[in-house]
Chain A
Amino acid sequence: MTGQRRGLLASIRRVWQHDLAWSLRRSPVTLVAAGLTLLCIAGALFAPWIAPQNPFDPASLNLNEAFRHPGSPGYPLGSDDQGRDLFSTILYGARISLGVGIAAVLLALILGVSLGLISGYVGGRVDAFIMRIADVQLSFPAILIALLIDGVARVSLPSQMGTSIAIPVLILSIGVSGWVQYARTVRGLTLVEREKEYVQAARVIGRRPLAIMLAHVLPNVMGSVLVIATIHIATAIITEATLSFLGVGVPPTQPSLGTLIRVGNEFLYSGEWWIALFPGCALVILVLSINLLGDWLRDALNPKLR
């Protein structure tokens, strides 16, 4: 019992004394950003318990409660054109935005890191082939690629699946549009690591290429990947919001932050400013704090800056 406790305390101390923790303590901006990110994640995660209303359940909506001003009883941030409480909808919307963002980043990460490892380790024609595809994709803005994939996926998938495929398609299109960065970075690092002695040693004792890639090279390139992933989450959230703003994202009955801003945009002239403003603020806070965290992580992991 006491041994266990001592072990726990020791590991907490180890984390506390770690370089990263030290650098985090020294940067108040990062502390605020981390706090806000945690707040957003917690809000999104616990939305069903925090939100006064479930805006995704159409039976709970009442059209007669639409366009309530911020501060009206029961509607702290007002309500939108369908009578959805904006505060609840932002929490649920952030859930979609974060969920889609993280899932898309995971997809891009897995795709990009594997292709980058193969490209860097195998080299030759395989390398040239993968990197030329990456070049082609890099010459288009990511949002165009996402729009293209989204459009093709929607047309080619059977229409019977209807709206249930909207979110997987969204994740696929954002994920596939973002793999290049990972592949490029990982390939570069792999080229360097490949020539190092420990890799050569592993080769000499007869380890298989796949095992070398996964067990030896991969752990040594993950630091940079982590930095890209953090910043990419912010980009992916923005891409999701942009697609939803353009009306090709999530179904209108399950609005994400981008959808809410699109809806609010239509009412800017008629004086219902809160429908666009509050979701917009939520999006800015979420993306900015994740970006700040990513920036800090990059600096903290860069030995040259220490």
Chain B
Amino acid sequence: MKKLLLLALFAVLPVQATTLRWAAQNDILTFDPHSQNHTTTITLVMHVYESLTRYGKKYDIEPSLATGWKEITPTQWRFNLRQGVKFHDGTPFTADDVVFSYGRIKQPQGTMQIYVDGVKEVRKVDEHTVDFILAGPDPVLLRKLTDFRIMSKVWAEKNRSQNVQDAKSKEETYASRNANGTGAYILKGWEPDKRLVLAANPNWWDKREGNVTDVVYTPIKADATRVSALLAGDVDLVTDLPTQDVARLKQNPSLKVLEGHEVRTIFIGMDQFNNELQYGDVKGKNPFKDVRVRRALNMAVDRDAIKRVTMRGLSIPAALMIAPGVHGHTNELDKVSAADPGGARKLLAEAGYPNGFEFTLDCPNNRYVNDEEICQALVGMWAKAGVRVKLNAMPFSNFIPKILKHDTSAYMLGWGVATFDGLYTLQSLVRTKTTGADGSFNCGRVSDPKLDQIIDAMKTEVDVKKRDALLRQALIMTRDEAYYVPLHHQMRPWAMKKNVSTLHRADDRPEARFARVD
């Protein structure tokens, strides 16, 4: 009788549900974990899909789906897989899934190959052991693998999703709308541009640090609307805060603002490939091929004014293409000099443009903090050096295919560093474009054989000292040749209700497993 009563009591007591309502600017592009290298997408996907390794609280490498690893030779790593882990649909996680996911992420229509770059083969040893065969020694393999997510082979085959969704041709597959991972949360539903719902996975192998059982993610495009939603209490956590509102939100007694910087650098890229600019008035030559022109554009930018006025103090002016917190960054290298429009004018005259020239700057208007405002400010700053810039602002979803097709003369982009290592930026942005990860976002087609050599050497250099020297050299060369015009490193304050606590992440990926709602 007593037992029965107790049972009845348990049946009546509801399981405590704690919901975290989170709003940010963009919706995810897909739920396919191997399709789009896009921060918002990855952030939500990583709640559902897991990798062999993951970042701990201080960005140190933790075991995740792998419990341990061993370097058998510098080019052969053995990973022991966690036993007893089940995907959300109940199928057990085995070595086959790792081998399958490796083949899947390598497919050319995805943009995530960089996370397995340098891996030649993944070999199954037994049900719970795999070997990674590398092309050469790789000092950042474990960091790269944090974003190599494992999908169930059985599930993918059953739902005909063995192939990565091809986002460029707007393809939809079962796996781009549904998910089956091993992660702490289960995808409950996604209505594009409206909301995405996650629920805690009761059978997760690890323990959540926080108490959040349900996550409701709402993309809200307009800045003012997003802030209003937080003030009105419709959401608990807002990332992508408009800079001008941070000071006021800080003073609100029912809210708190968590400050931290992001490992993301905002910069301007220039077409350095075509012999004549596609969008410009110089005929017969490409001014951006001249280092003096690139330096002049660099000199004319008043980064302090952008920080003070447009960013309201929430940025770190940049001279280097990587942010503080990324391996390779030092304050001594990342020293910004004051704007000098007069000097820029002189350099331009030396390069043969005493009356300046004209080009079009493509700029996203809903991706980075104050992106369009910064571009507008740049138009003014470059005008003072005699360069006439036409601004072409557009939504990120139109912008990205345009610049990936090299259909641009100059563009603004931000680059976050998932591996916390400078090689990631250099390889994606500076290395000459080939197939695969090399130059994958080198949209202006920068090409410097000497830099290519250094970057390629860095990929397999395991001697830390030698590698650091190479990294430093490559960063200095990129800076001094002005292959890009770095603007600043973003600061990313997150605002939340007083009763919410979470861990600020420099990769700008809030994780619900760290969040508490009291």
Contact = CB atoms under 8 A, between A and B. Distances in A.
Contacts of B242: 266, 269-270
Interface residues of B, number: 35
B447 interface: no
B276 interface: no
B254 to A, nearest CB: 15
Contacts of A267: 244
Contacts of A253: 376, 379, 390-391
B248 A252 contact: no
B271 interface: no
A205 interface: no
A152 to B, nearest CB: 15
A219 interface: no
B224 A247 contact: no
A82 B306 CA distance: 10
Interface stretch (A3-11, A57-65, A130-138, A181-189): A57-65
Contacts of B379: 58, 253
Contacts of A252: 372, 376, 391, 393
A163 B372 contact: no
A59 B10 CA distance: 72
Interface in A61-88: 61-64, 66-67, 81-83
Given A58-B379, A159-B402, A163-B360, 14 more contacts: A58-B389, A66-B309, A160-B278, A163-B390, A164-B390, A251-B393, A252-B393, A253-B391, A266-B223, A266-B224, A267-B244, A269-B227, A270-B247, A272-B244
A79 to B, nearest CB: 11
Interface string A34-78: 000000000000000000000001110111101100000000000
A64 B309 contact: yes
Interface string A241-259: 0000001000111000000
Nearest to A271: B248
A24 B392 CA distance: 47
B224 A81 contact: no
A268 interface: yes
A63 B391 contact: no
A162 B373 contact: no
Q: Interface centre among B245, B376, B382, B390, by most A CB within 10 Å? A: B376
B359 to A, nearest CB: 10
Contacts of B309: 63-64, 66-67, 81, 83
A58 B227 CA distance: 31
A58 B383 contact: yes
Interface string A157-168: 001101110000
Interface in B377-412: 377, 379-384, 389-393, 402, 407
Interface of B: 223-224, 227, 242, 244-245, 247-248, 278-279, 302, 305-306, 308-310, 360, 365, 372-373, 376-377, 379-384, 389-393, 402, 407
Given A59-B380, A82-B376, A251-B391, A64 B305 contact: yes
Contacts of B392: 162-163, 251
Contacts of A58: 379-380, 382-383, 389
**Sorted from nearest, which 3 A-B pairs have the closest CB atoms?**
A59-B383, A270-B244, A58-B383
B310 A162 contact: no
Which applies to chain B's interface (DSSP): helix, strand, loop or mixed?
A: helix
A160 B224 contact: no
Contact of B310 (A57, A81, A160, A265): A81
Contacts of A67: 309
A82 B380 contact: yes
A58 to B, nearest CB: 4
Interface of A: 57-59, 61-64, 66-67, 81-83, 159-160, 162-164, 247, 251-253, 265-272
Contacts of A64: 305, 308-309
Given A81-B373, A266-B223, A266-B242, A61 B248 contact: no
Contacts of A265: 224
Contacts of B391: 163, 251-253
Given A66-B309, A266-B242, A59 B390 contact: no
Q: Which of A83, A247, A269 has the most CB of B within 10 A?
A: A269
Contacts of A269: 224, 227, 242, 244-245, 248
Given A59-B384, A81-B373, A253-B391, A266 B310 contact: no
Nearest to A65: B309
B245 A63 contact: no
Contacts of B310: 63, 66, 81
Contacts of A59: 380, 383-384
A266 B380 contact: no
B284 to A, nearest CB: 17
Nearest to A159: B407
B244 A63 contact: no
Contacts of A162: 279, 360, 390, 392
Nearest to B386: A59
Most chain B CB neighbours (cut-off 10 Å) among A63, A66, A163, A253 = A63
Contacts of A163: 360, 390-392
Interface core residue of B227, B244, B360, B382 (most chain A CB under 10 Å):
B244
Contacts of A63: 302, 305-306, 309-310, 377, 380-381
A247 B365 contact: yes
B384 A82 contact: no
A4 B376 CA distance: 56
Nearest to B363: A252
A272 to B, nearest CB: 7
A162 B302 CA distance: 26
B228 to A, nearest CB: 8
A252 B373 CA distance: 9
A94 to B, nearest CB: 20
A270 B251 CA distance: 12
Nearest to B393: A252
Nearest to A254: B391
A61 B373 contact: no
A57 B248 contact: no
26 contacts: A58-B382, A58-B389, A63-B377, A64-B309, A66-B309, A66-B310, A82-B376, A82-B380, A83-B309, A159-B407, A162-B360, A162-B390, A163-B390, A163-B392, A251-B391, A252-B391, A253-B376, A253-B379, A253-B391, A266-B224, A267-B244, A269-B244, A269-B245, A269-B248, A270-B247, A271-B248
Contacts of B373: 81-82
A247 B363 CA distance: 14
A61 B244 contact: no
Contacts of A57: 383
Contacts of A271: 248
**Could you say which of A82, A162, A247, A270 has the most chain B C-beta atoms within 10 Å of its C-beta?**
A270
Nearest to B341: A59
B224 A61 contact: no
A66 to B, nearest CB: 5
Nearest to B384: A59
Nearest to B382: A58
